[in-house]
Chain A
Amino acid sequence: MSETSYAVLGIFDTPNALMAAIPKARAANLGTVEAYTPYPIHGIDEALGLRKSPLGGMVLVMGIIGALTAFGFQYWISAVDYPIITGGKPAGSWEAFIPIMFEVTVLFATFTAGLGMLLLLNKLPFFGHPILTSKAIAGITRDRYVLALEAEDEGFDSAAATQALLAAGAVEVEVLPAPDRSPFLTSAFILRTLGGIFVACLVAGVAIYSLTKWFPLLKPMVYMQDQPRLNPQKASTFFKDGHGMQKPVPGTVARGYLPTAVGSQDASATLVNPLPRTPDVFAVGKKVYTTRCEVCHGAIGNGSGSLTSAYGAKAGNLQSQQFRDYPDGKIYWAIVHGKNAMPSHAPYLTERERWAVVHYVRALQRAQNAKDEDLKVAP
């Protein structure tokens, strides 16, 4: 035998004859047994001993990976890298991720199913299956049933295969020569194709960029900017007073800025500092004191800050007996409402910062009036 053939085709008249021949052909053990029929025949998969397709498992795994990818990506964007509160929801709200997770799951799964079936399992692109060049193909698409013994290696014995198929009951046998391999999918062709796609993308990108730059009328996707929404600091015909920005409803309280010191300063005397005296709290208090209070009240709270020497400001001496006898609540009230020339500090200090600075003022007072037991070294 000079040339290895691709396969030997045994042609049968009925599906039952084909089914009966399959075990005999498989027993001959001469090559891969493959069947070509005009329509699917029930039970032929089992008879040919085809293994179960691994595609389902691949799709499941890729689907799960897709779901996890979408979740991880969204979580990272919205809760780790750049947390933005949207619609009052917590930053890592999984509920909002589900639709995207679903889409990406489907995307990964369908790509795996489609590409896996075509490229991985069916080994496409494979232009012109050798069976299409056989004489039997006309019958296969109409009313003939073909069993093929396909060559697995160079040692394929087509004479023995012909004998085996005839013995199994084939009415006719055709030897299919090895196909002359198409030079279509050479590496040069693949490189040329990919290069062509790349150049096309480059040209399209540059063209769009230049067009939108030189002809602003063609600017795409500006619909989000052009919507008739209300802009801050702009006029609006929607509200009666003509302002786009509206004042909050009377009584509106910002998050974390609950007013606790209402009424007179004496009425606030009973307020209790809710914060514990921990290093964290003192650190906050020190930071607030140095940025907000120190310029007037001085670094140790004696009412002599840098503004005193520069402009003669006379801030309250927090070390005086009057302020050392003040309850916490009255200091807090002064921070919130201001006192004499001191303005209110409520707009930019959170509840926690206000009380932390009260603790810090107490620490300053104690530092200037230390008692003997304060000298004990903390364990």
Chain B
Amino acid sequence: MSPNKNTSPLIWGATALGALGVAGTYAAAGPERFWANWILWFVLMFTLGLGALFIVALEHLVSARWSVPIRRLPERLSTLLLPAIPVGLIALGAIPVLYPGARPEAAHHPILAGKAFWLGLPFFSVRTLIAFALCLLGLAVLVRGSMKQDSTRDPAFNIRARKFAPAFMAIFALVITLIAFDWISGLTPEWYSDIFGVYVFAGAFLSALAATTLSVLYLQNQNRLEGVKGDHLYNLGAFLFGFTVFWSYIGFAQYMLMWYANLPDEVIYYKVRLAGAWRAITISLAFLHFILPFFALVTRDSKKDPKRMRRVAFLMLGAHVLDMYWLIFPVLGPKPYFSWPELSFALFFIGGILLWVRGAMQKGEDMPVGDPFLREGLEFRL
């Protein structure tokens, strides 16, 4: 995070190295492992971008003022949806490989055969395309409109965004549920959980909050966010704190009901994840995603401490990666895979995301200077 050093060659190099590994994975480790990794990173990119767009829409929905000075950062982060869409289109190739509902054997399976229309490749793709189109609509109204306002200074945008925000919340709920049910839960089509979309939403919102926090600290390091204070950081910290609890509440509620009822088609999901090496991953997920950030952020001062907030934000991003890995990778078998293919994918996608976000951080002004509420936001005190 040192602004003076030129890290571009390093990131480009790591991304290129990762790309080699990604290509090698398909040839050497087989298509199933390749697609599992690909879906993991597609979901991560997509939830990060969508979560950032949710933060933007949330501000407009409730007419929040404190977050106006930092709104440009989630707006820039939400442009990650643009590269996530081609990644998602490529991921459609995984459907006949990894998704039991779209494989030829499904025709002989009484449950899957009955849902062939919903789980099959054509309608699966159509739903994904609809989700992408809705995301683009959200980006166009909320993010492009806000960027335009920098030069026009037209307050009409605020009214338009406020009217659009409630509709976007419905869109958001639909899109995140489709992504969660189709792309993640679809890997185990005989397993149901009504709360699953909410669980994925909690992770998505947390990861976007963590990325926003890191962006705020990164730009503050470069003296580009004049007037953004510890009070703003405190609110981000309070959100992070609250939603780690929300995530664990949803996660545990889902687990406990299935554990209590002990129905074979439900508990199998946790049986797989509580056996062998997955057990250690499950326990460390609870620790990294809940207990550690909870106690790291429990005091009032820790939410204003940039160093502490940076560490917790990195931790939350890492925990979100682990969470999605925990959801997706058991489809490959009882043994958790972690070796050079996973590292290459991580290098390639993290490098790519960093390059994209760094580019995006130069787009437009650092604050929404055309927003009439910017001044009020800068004067925000706890």
A56 and B262 in contact, given A98-B252, A98-B256 (Cβ under 8 angstroms)? no
State A268–B299 Cα separation when bound (angstroms): 69
Which residues of the other chain, A, contact B260 by a CB distance below 8 angstroms? 87, 89, 95-96
Could you tell me the distance in whole angstroms from the C-beta of A314 to the nearest C-beta in chain B? 52
State A355–B100 Cα separation when bound (angstroms): 48
Which residues of the other chain, A, contact B255 by a CB distance below 8 angstroms? 95
A247 within 8 A of B: no
A60 and B256 in contact, given A42-B381, A87-B262 (Cβ under 8 angstroms)? no
A56 to B256, Cβ gap below 8 A? no
Which residues of the other chain, B, contact A88 by a CB distance below 8 angstroms? 262
Q: 0/1 per residue, B253-264, Cβ < 8 Å to A?
A: 001100110100
A-B contact count (CB 8 A): 18
A95 to B256, Cβ gap below 8 A? yes
State A1–B48 Cα separation when bound (angstroms): 71
State A35–B260 Cα separation when bound (angstroms): 56
Which residues of the other chain, A, contact B300 by a CB distance below 8 angstroms? 52, 56
Which residues of the other chain, A, contact B381 by a CB distance below 8 angstroms? 42
A95 to B259, Cβ gap below 8 A? yes
| Closest partner residue, chain A, to B260 (CB atom) | A87
Which residues of the other chain, A, contact B64 by a CB distance below 8 angstroms? none
Please report which residues of chain B, range 295-312, place their CB below 8 angstroms from some CB of chain A when the two chains form the complex. 298-300
Please report which residues of chain A, range 76-98, place their CB below 8 angstroms from some CB of chain B when the two chains form the complex. 87-89, 95-96, 98
| Closest partner residue, chain A, to B300 (CB atom) | A56
Q: 0/1 per residue, A38-76, Cβ < 8 Å to B?
A: 000010000000001000100010000000000000000
Could you tell me the distance in whole angstroms from the C-beta of B64 to the nearest C-beta in chain A? 19
Could you tell me the distance in whole angstroms from the C-beta of A47 to the nearest C-beta in chain B? 14
Which residues of the other chain, A, contact B298 by a CB distance below 8 angstroms? 60
Could you tell me the distance in whole angstroms from the C-beta of A135 to the nearest C-beta in chain B? 32
Could you tell me the distance in whole angstroms from the C-beta of A55 to the nearest C-beta in chain B? 11
| Closest partner residue, chain A, to B231 (CB atom) | A42
Which residues of the other chain, B, contact A42 by a CB distance below 8 angstroms? 381
Please report which residues of chain B, range 90-148, place their CB below 8 angstroms from some CB of chain A when the two chains form the complex. none
Which residues of the other chain, B, contact A96 by a CB distance below 8 angstroms? 256, 260
Could you tell me the distance in whole angstroms from the C-beta of B257 to the nearest C-beta in chain A? 10
Could you tell me the distance in whole angstroms from the C-beta of A97 to the nearest C-beta in chain B? 10
Q: Please report whether the interface of chain A is mostly helix, strand, loop or mixed according to DSSP.
A: helix
| Closest partner residue, chain B, to A88 (CB atom) | B262
State A308–B259 Cα separation when bound (angstroms): 56
Could you tell me the distance in whole angstroms from the C-beta of B214 to the nearest C-beta in chain A? 26
Could you tell me the distance in whole angstroms from the C-beta of B283 to the nearest C-beta in chain A? 13
State A88–B300 Cα separation when bound (angstroms): 44
State A99–B299 Cα separation when bound (angstroms): 24
Q: 0/1 per residue, B347-382, Cβ < 8 Å to A?
A: 000000000000000000000000000000000010
State A88–B260 Cα separation when bound (angstroms): 9
Q: 0/1 per residue, A117-134, Cβ < 8 Å to B?
A: 000000000000000000
Which residues of the other chain, B, contact A56 by a CB distance below 8 angstroms? 299-300
Which residues of the other chain, A, contact B262 by a CB distance below 8 angstroms? 87-88
Q: 0/1 per residue, A11-37, Cβ < 8 Å to B?
A: 000000000000000000000000000
State A56–B300 Cα separation when bound (angstroms): 9
State A38–B298 Cα separation when bound (angstroms): 31
| Closest partner residue, chain B, to A86 (CB atom) | B260
Could you tell me the distance in whole angstroms from the C-beta of A65 to the nearest C-beta in chain B? 15
State A166–B255 Cα separation when bound (angstroms): 67
Please report which residues of chain B, range 308-337, place their CB below 8 angstroms from some CB of chain A when the two chains form the complex. none
Which residues of the other chain, B, contact A99 by a CB distance below 8 angstroms? 256
Please report which residues of chain B, range 237-276, place their CB below 8 angstroms from some CB of chain A when the two chains form the complex. 252, 255-256, 259-260, 262
| Closest partner residue, chain B, to A53 (CB atom) | B300
| Closest partner residue, chain A, to B301 (CB atom) | A52
Could you tell me the distance in whole angstroms from the C-beta of A52 to the nearest C-beta in chain B? 8
State A87–B261 Cα separation when bound (angstroms): 8
State A89–B259 Cα separation when bound (angstroms): 9
Q: 0/1 per residue, A189-226, Cβ < 8 Å to B?
A: 00000000000000000000000000000000000000
Which residues of the other chain, B, contact A52 by a CB distance below 8 angstroms? 300
Could you tell me the distance in whole angstroms from the C-beta of A44 to the nearest C-beta in chain B? 11
Could you tell me the distance in whole angstroms from the C-beta of B173 to the nearest C-beta in chain A? 26
Could you tell me the distance in whole angstroms from the C-beta of A164 to the nearest C-beta in chain B? 30
State A210–B259 Cα separation when bound (angstroms): 44
State A362–B262 Cα separation when bound (angstroms): 44
State A96–B300 Cα separation when bound (angstroms): 32
State A201–B231 Cα separation when bound (angstroms): 50
Which residues of the other chain, B, contact A95 by a CB distance below 8 angstroms? 255-256, 259-260
State A88–B381 Cα separation when bound (angstroms): 54
State A98–B255 Cα separation when bound (angstroms): 12
Which residues of the other chain, A, contact B256 by a CB distance below 8 angstroms? 95-96, 98-99
State A51–B89 Cα separation when bound (angstroms): 57
Could you tell me the distance in whole angstroms from the C-beta of A251 to the nearest C-beta in chain B? 19
| Closest partner residue, chain A, to B381 (CB atom) | A42
State A98–B248 Cα separation when bound (angstroms): 12
| Closest partner residue, chain B, to A60 (CB atom) | B298
State A42–B255 Cα separation when bound (angstroms): 45
Which residues of the other chain, A, contact B259 by a CB distance below 8 angstroms? 95
| Closest partner residue, chain A, to B261 (CB atom) | A87
Could you tell me the distance in whole angstroms from the C-beta of A152 to the nearest C-beta in chain B? 29
Which residues of the other chain, B, contact A89 by a CB distance below 8 angstroms? 260
| Closest partner residue, chain A, to B379 (CB atom) | A42
State A52–B262 Cα separation when bound (angstroms): 48
State A369–B235 Cα separation when bound (angstroms): 87
State A116–B256 Cα separation when bound (angstroms): 34
Could you tell me the distance in whole angstroms from the C-beta of B334 to the nearest C-beta in chain A? 22
| Closest partner residue, chain A, to B299 (CB atom) | A56
| Closest partner residue, chain A, to B256 (CB atom) | A95
Which residues of the other chain, A, contact B299 by a CB distance below 8 angstroms? 56
State A95–B262 Cα separation when bound (angstroms): 13
Could you tell me the distance in whole angstroms from the C-beta of B175 to the nearest C-beta in chain A? 31
Could you tell me the distance in whole angstroms from the C-beta of A259 to the nearest C-beta in chain B? 24
State A98–B257 Cα separation when bound (angstroms): 12
| Closest partner residue, chain B, to A99 (CB atom) | B256
Could you tell me the distance in whole angstroms from the C-beta of A359 to the nearest C-beta in chain B? 36
State A42–B229 Cα separation when bound (angstroms): 14
State A359–B100 Cα separation when bound (angstroms): 53
Known pairs A60-B298, A95-B255; list 6 more (Cβ under 8 Å): A42-B381, A56-B300, A95-B259, A95-B260, A98-B256, A99-B256
Residue positions of A touching B, CB distance < 8 A: 42, 52, 56, 60, 87-89, 95-96, 98-99
Q: List 14 A-B contacts (CB under 8 A).
A: A42-B381, A52-B300, A56-B299, A56-B300, A60-B298, A87-B260, A87-B262, A89-B260, A95-B255, A95-B256, A95-B259, A96-B256, A98-B256, A99-B256
Q: Sorted from nearest, which 3 A-B pairs have the closest CB atoms?
A: A42-B381, A95-B259, A95-B256
